[in-house]
Amino acid sequence: MNEPLSRLVEEAGARHNRLVLVVSQDRAGRNQIIDELAAGQGSGVFNVGLEFARILAGANKRQRQLQAATILRDITTTNRGEKPLVLNNLEILFDRALRLDPLDLLRRLSHGQTVVAAWPGALREGRLVYAAAGHPEHQDYPTDGLILFHPN
- Work out how many domains the chain is built from and give that number: 1
Domain range for residue 86?
A: 3-149
pLDDT of residue 80: 62
Per-residue pLDDT at 42 exceeds 70:
yes
| Distance (Å, whole) CA 93 – CA 139 | 11
pLDDT of residue 81: 66
Per-residue pLDDT at 68 exceeds 90:
no
Query: Beta 19-23 vs 115-119: how paired, if at all?
Result: parallel
Residues 6+ apart with CB under 8 A from 78: none
SS3 118: strand
| Distance (Å, whole) CA 73 – CA 52 | 12
Nearest Cα residue to 34 out of 82, 81, 78, 90: 90
